[in-house]
Amino acid sequence: MQASDETLMEVYKAASHAVEFAGGMNKTAFMLDVKTHSAVLYQLLIMRQAAGDLGDEFRNEHPNFPWKAIDALGDETAIELNDAWDILWRDIPAIVTAVETVIPHGGDS
Protein backbone atom coordinates (compact mmCIF):
# COMPACT_ATOMS: atom_id res chain seq x y z
CA MET A 1 0.00 0.00 0.00
CA GLN A 2 1.42 3.39 -0.96
CA ALA A 3 1.62 6.27 1.49
CA SER A 4 -1.26 8.01 -0.31
CA ASP A 5 -3.33 4.83 0.01
CA GLU A 6 -2.67 4.75 3.75
CA THR A 7 -3.62 8.40 4.00
CA LEU A 8 -6.79 7.79 1.99
CA MET A 9 -7.66 4.97 4.37
CA GLU A 10 -7.32 7.43 7.27
CA VAL A 11 -9.76 9.74 5.47
CA TYR A 12 -12.11 6.83 4.78
CA LYS A 13 -12.06 5.48 8.33
CA ALA A 14 -12.56 8.90 9.90
CA ALA A 15 -15.47 9.63 7.54
CA SER A 16 -17.05 6.27 8.26
CA HIS A 17 -16.69 6.75 12.02
CA ALA A 18 -18.20 10.24 11.86
CA VAL A 19 -21.27 8.98 9.99
CA GLU A 20 -21.59 6.00 12.32
CA PHE A 21 -21.39 8.18 15.44
CA ALA A 22 -24.12 10.58 14.25
CA GLY A 23 -26.25 8.01 12.46
CA GLY A 24 -29.92 8.15 13.34
CA MET A 25 -29.68 11.59 14.92
CA ASN A 26 -31.38 14.74 13.80
CA LYS A 27 -29.57 18.05 13.94
CA THR A 28 -31.03 19.10 17.29
CA ALA A 29 -30.04 15.83 18.96
CA PHE A 30 -26.56 16.14 17.46
CA MET A 31 -26.16 19.68 18.77
CA LEU A 32 -27.24 18.68 22.28
CA ASP A 33 -25.21 15.45 22.52
CA VAL A 34 -21.75 16.61 23.59
CA LYS A 35 -20.19 13.15 23.33
CA THR A 36 -21.43 12.60 19.79
CA HIS A 37 -20.60 16.00 18.38
CA SER A 38 -17.19 15.92 20.07
CA ALA A 39 -16.48 12.53 18.51
CA VAL A 40 -17.65 13.71 15.08
CA LEU A 41 -15.59 16.89 15.29
CA TYR A 42 -12.53 14.84 16.16
CA GLN A 43 -13.06 12.60 13.13
CA LEU A 44 -13.47 15.64 10.87
CA LEU A 45 -10.18 17.01 12.19
CA ILE A 46 -8.50 13.67 11.45
CA MET A 47 -9.94 13.81 7.93
CA ARG A 48 -8.71 17.36 7.44
CA GLN A 49 -5.19 16.47 8.56
CA ALA A 50 -5.05 13.32 6.43
CA ALA A 51 -6.45 15.08 3.36
CA GLY A 52 -3.82 17.77 3.75
CA ASP A 53 -1.18 15.05 3.75
CA LEU A 54 -2.29 13.79 0.33
CA GLY A 55 -0.36 16.59 -1.32
CA ASP A 56 -0.45 18.41 -4.62
CA GLU A 57 0.68 15.41 -6.70
CA PHE A 58 -2.35 13.39 -5.58
CA ARG A 59 -4.63 16.37 -6.22
CA ASN A 60 -3.24 16.72 -9.74
CA GLU A 61 -3.58 12.99 -10.43
CA HIS A 62 -7.21 12.91 -9.20
CA PRO A 63 -8.93 16.07 -10.41
CA ASN A 64 -12.39 14.48 -10.09
CA PHE A 65 -11.91 13.79 -6.37
CA PRO A 66 -14.37 15.90 -4.33
CA TRP A 67 -11.81 18.55 -3.42
CA LYS A 68 -14.51 21.11 -2.70
CA ALA A 69 -15.90 18.76 -0.05
CA ILE A 70 -12.41 18.16 1.38
CA ASP A 71 -11.72 21.89 1.39
CA ALA A 72 -15.01 22.44 3.26
CA LEU A 73 -13.23 20.99 6.29
CA GLY A 74 -11.36 24.30 6.41
CA ASP A 75 -8.02 25.12 7.92
CA GLU A 76 -8.98 26.71 11.23
CA THR A 77 -8.29 24.94 14.49
CA ALA A 78 -12.01 24.44 15.17
CA ILE A 79 -15.04 23.48 13.13
CA GLU A 80 -18.37 25.04 14.09
CA LEU A 81 -21.14 22.58 14.98
CA ASN A 82 -23.50 23.80 12.25
CA ASP A 83 -20.70 23.41 9.71
CA ALA A 84 -19.88 19.95 11.06
CA TRP A 85 -23.49 18.84 10.60
CA ASP A 86 -23.57 20.15 7.04
CA ILE A 87 -20.22 18.57 6.16
CA LEU A 88 -21.32 15.28 7.69
CA TRP A 89 -24.40 14.87 5.52
CA ARG A 90 -23.55 17.01 2.48
CA ASP A 91 -19.87 16.26 1.88
CA ILE A 92 -18.87 13.01 3.60
CA PRO A 93 -20.84 10.72 1.24
CA ALA A 94 -18.98 12.13 -1.79
CA ILE A 95 -15.64 11.76 -0.03
CA VAL A 96 -16.35 8.14 0.94
CA THR A 97 -17.44 7.29 -2.60
CA ALA A 98 -14.35 8.93 -4.07
CA VAL A 99 -12.01 7.03 -1.76
CA GLU A 100 -13.77 3.77 -2.67
CA THR A 101 -13.09 4.47 -6.36
CA VAL A 102 -9.40 5.21 -5.77
CA ILE A 103 -8.66 2.32 -3.40
CA PRO A 104 -9.98 -1.07 -4.49
CA HIS A 105 -12.45 -2.46 -1.93
CA GLY A 106 -12.65 0.90 -0.11
CA GLY A 107 -12.41 0.27 3.60
CA ASP A 108 -12.34 -3.52 3.28
CA SER A 109 -8.56 -3.76 3.28
Report if residue 97 sits inside a domain: yes
| Max Cα distance, the chain (Å) | 41
Question: What domain range includes position 71?
Answer: 3-104
Q: What is the pLDDT of residues 13-70, one digit of tens each?
A: 999 999 999 999 999 999 999 999 999 999 999 998 888 888 888 888 888 888 888 8
Q: What is the CATH number of the domain that holds 39?
A: 1.20.58
Report if residue 42 sits inside a domain: yes
Helix (H), strand (E) at residue 98: helix 92-102
User: Helix crossing, 3-22 with 34-61: angle to 10°?
Assistant: 150
Report if residue 36 sits inside a domain: yes
Q: What is the pLDDT of residues 14-23, one digit of tens each?
A: 999 999 999 9
Query: pTM of the full predicted structure?
Result: 0.84
Report if residue 26 sits inside a domain: yes
Report if residue 7 sits inside a domain: yes
d(CA 73, CA 49): 10
What is the number of structural domains in the chain?
Answer: 1
Report if residue 109 sits inside a domain: no
